[in-house]
Structure 1
Amino acid sequence: MEQLKKRLMQTWPRHALYLIILLFFVPHPSFGKDLLRFGVLPVVDTLPLLVGQNAGTFSDQGIDLELVSFQSALERDAALQAGKLDGYFGDILNTLLLIQSGQPVKILTTAFHTHPGHRMFGIAAAPGSEINRIEQLKGKDIAISRATIIEYVLDTLLRSLNLPSDYMTKQEIKKMPIRLQMLLSSQISAALLPEPLLTLAESKGAQVIKDDRQLDVCLTVLAMDMTRTADKPRLPERFLNAYAAAVAKINEDPESYKQMMIARTRFPMPVKDLYKVPVFPETGPPAEKDIMATQDWLVQNGLLKEKIPYGQVVCR
């Protein structure tokens, strides 16, 4: 190294020498960042991750956030179990089931919680059916996907009305586009749909007869593989700082991020002027009551063997 410096001093002007030293010996700004591969689905709840990646809030915390998009939760979970992801966007149900299977994951924060000013899920009745009250759906078919957040929200909606979970006849239709198509063609009486498909169904004549705005439920979360924190104990804190900064940017002016939401999520263009960008909750793990209510449902439905202590589910 000393011989190289002497040779450069003899043959190069001093200002050129300084430039070379800067180029080769000063660390690049991206060096030293922690790479985090986060699995996401193309849904509106992931907007803060998209904004944070684009606006540099994660980079500011020394995190190189790579968002890996999947078309289904099944594909995402398989990638996590294969060690290809460091974290993911999902819900409490799938996180509890992953923990039960031995995956070392914990929830970092709520991604979306039911909000009185913005619906995220709702029961829609088929166009032309003249169904406009929940009582008219007693015994009728409703399209859902079983053992998912969809069925959990439906049962929670029914419980809030003091109705049993078998008040309607649940029909398993996993693929959302097919569920919507069957509803709009009146092949099924009702369907439980997420936004913005709920707004799309409504724009095509479906009647939304009940939604989640009056519930108090954590809908989606962000979780991390805790093996990543073994030698970086502050990594979750830094991640949450970055995520909180992205949420703050959105909540200052939600509609200014609509184009990013449309471009980066599975968004139906016909409702781009009807659907409003939601306000996102402050960062923080789901309340213990949310975790326990979800576990109660999973145990009752034979999906969870035994309840998992709150401290083993959330990162605090």
Structure 2
Amino acid sequence: MRCTHRTFTALAAVVLLSAAAACGSDSDAGSGGSGSSGSGGGGLTTVKVGVIPIVDVAPLYLGQRQGFFKKQGLTLSMTTAQGGAAIVPGVVSGQFQFGFSNSTSLMIAQSTGVPIKVVANGVGSTGKDGDDFGAVVVKKGSALKSAKDLEGKKVAVNTLKNINDTTVREAVRKDGGDPSAVHFVELAFDQMPAALAKGQIDAAQVVEPALATVKAQGGTVIASNYVDTAAKLTVAMYFASTQYTQAHPDIVKKFQAATAESLTYANSHPDDVRQILTTYTKIPQATLDTMVLPDWPAEPNRTSLDTLAQLGEKDGLFKKNPDLDALLP
């Protein structure tokens, strides 16, 4: 989700690339997403999905293992990235058929003319202050006690100009502080616990499993930024390029059906979620046991997304306001 000026220059170029690709054949549009690999004479369509190696995407891995995607005739080939904004260009260029990104980065991309469409819900906040899967944390013994104390401090987020710095600003604002006085730095989630412990940053906005790691080191939560922003915030969603959704509506429907079943399964099988994380992350068992799991609702929370859009406008993230009716399913 590297949402720096470099990324948006790349995104602008990707828009042109996508427009050119739209003039190609239908088989070009489905390249990488229509290869068969199966057994017993029944072929499976392989689709490439850009994801982040965090707890949020556990339902996809579970759905693959439980056979939900196979039942729809699909098999997933997943590639990890630091964040969702880095995945957007890959989806639009055809490197991935589907991608996972935080809601704010999707709004920013859509508002700049990047041709994307949300196809399925991704992950949501628990809505519980002090007991969410994402939070602002400080190291043991820190003098920082609340969001207002972040004024003038160095706070790590996984990428700039995404849902995490947006929601941290809102937490600071609601606590009576000046959100413009926070100094954000970009750092991968898995690097944040060590940077915090060494004093290289004053605070970090982390999600699980980094949150549990910081707590195990004696760190504490000083703000539940997702909860402070909106009730049951829709944090991230799965998306595709508009070109792909138009060229392959059948595959999109199959992906939606399998993803919906996977989200429901993850919500009702927390032990399976913790176990599947061992297959794509290197999380110690003690950390797995203490992690706070997110919610995986079947549908995005539109009210929370409207709030995010308003905050993005307030923070100057958009050249023009995103069209949520066009972006959402």
Aligned-partner Cα distance in 2 for 1:234–1:110: 18
* 220, 231, 246: which one aligns with 1:207: 220
Runs (4+) of structure 1 exceeding 6 A deviation are none
Kindly tell me: are residues 131 and 156 of structure 1, through their superposed partners in 2, closer, same or farther at Cα, counting changes over 3 Å?
A: closer
Aligned-partner Cα distance in 1 for 2:198–2:205: 15
- Corresponding position of 1:172: 185
Letter in 2 for 1:285: P
Kindly tell me: are residues 266 and 153 of structure 1, through their superposed partners in 2, closer, same or farther at Cα, counting changes over 3 Å?
A: farther
**RMSD across aligned positions (CA):** 2.7
* 104, 120, 138: which one aligns with 2:133: 120
- Corresponding position of 1:274: 290
Letter in 2 for 1:301: D
Letter in 2 for 1:267: I
Q: Deviations over 1:145-196 (max 9, x none)?
A: 4212220120232244354313x53241433344332321234332222222
Aligned-partner Cα distance in 2 for 1:73–1:229: 19
Matched, 1:305 2:319: yes
Kindly tell me: are residues 247 and 29 of structure 1, through their superposed partners in 2, closer, same or farther at Cα, counting changes over 3 Å?
A: farther
* 58, 62, 65: which one aligns with 1:51: 62
Kindly tell me: are residues 266 and 222 of structure 1, through their superposed partners in 2, closer, same or farther at Cα, counting changes over 3 Å?
A: farther
- Corresponding position of 1:30: 42
Kindly tell me: are residues 82 and 230 of structure 1, through their superposed partners in 2, closer, same or farther at Cα, counting changes over 3 Å?
A: closer
Kindly tell me: are residues 29 and 254 of structure 1, through their superposed partners in 2, closer, same or farther at Cα, counting changes over 3 Å?
A: farther
Q: Percent identity?
A: 20
Alignment of 1:127-276 (within 5 A): 127-144=140-157, 145-166=159-180, 168-211=181-224, 212-213=226-227, 215-216=230-231, 217-265=233-281, 267=283, 270-276=286-292
Contact 2:189 2:207 (8 Å CA) reproduced: no
Kindly tell me: are residues 181 and 308 of structure 1, through their superposed partners in 2, closer, same or farther at Cα, counting changes over 3 Å?
A: same
Letter in 1 for 2:258: A
Structure 1 position 222, deviation (Å): 0.8
Kindly tell me: are residues 204 and 248 of structure 1, through their superposed partners in 2, closer, same or farther at Cα, counting changes over 3 Å?
A: same
Structure 1 position 302, deviation (Å): 3.4
TM-score, scaled to structure 1: 0.78
SS at match of 1:42: coil
Aligned-partner Cα distance in 1 for 2:241–2:192: 33
* 65, 80, 101: which one aligns with 1:90: 101
Contact 2:59 2:263 (8 Å CA) reproduced: yes
Aligned-partner Cα distance in 2 for 1:286–1:63: 27
Contact 2:120 2:259 (8 Å CA) reproduced: no
TM-score, scaled to structure 2: 0.76
SS at match of 2:48: strand
Structure 1 position 44, deviation (Å): 0.7
Aligned-partner Cα distance in 2 for 1:109–1:161: 33
Contact 1:108 1:284 (8 Å CA) reproduced: no
Kindly tell me: are residues 98 and 268 of structure 1, through their superposed partners in 2, closer, same or farther at Cα, counting changes over 3 Å?
A: farther
Letter in 1 for 2:161: A
Letter in 2 for 1:314: L
Contact 2:132 2:293 (8 Å CA) reproduced: no
Aligned-partner Cα distance in 2 for 1:266–1:73: 20
Alignment of 1:97-112 (within 5 A): 97-112=108-123
Structure 1 position 280, deviation (Å): 2.0
Structure 1 position 276, deviation (Å): 4.5
Contact 1:93 1:298 (8 Å CA) reproduced: yes
- Corresponding position of 1:292: 306
Aligned-partner Cα distance in 2 for 1:231–1:75: 23
Q: Deviations over 1:117-170 (max 9, x none)?
A: 55122121222224434454444443334212220120232244354313x532
Kindly tell me: are residues 276 and 294 of structure 1, through their superposed partners in 2, closer, same or farther at Cα, counting changes over 3 Å?
A: closer
Aligned-partner Cα distance in 1 for 2:184–2:284: 24
Letter in 2 for 1:284: E
Q: Deviations over 1:77-114 (max 9, x none)?
A: 34223321111011122222332444321112321111
Q: Report the more deviating stretch, 263-272 or 239-248.
A: 263-272
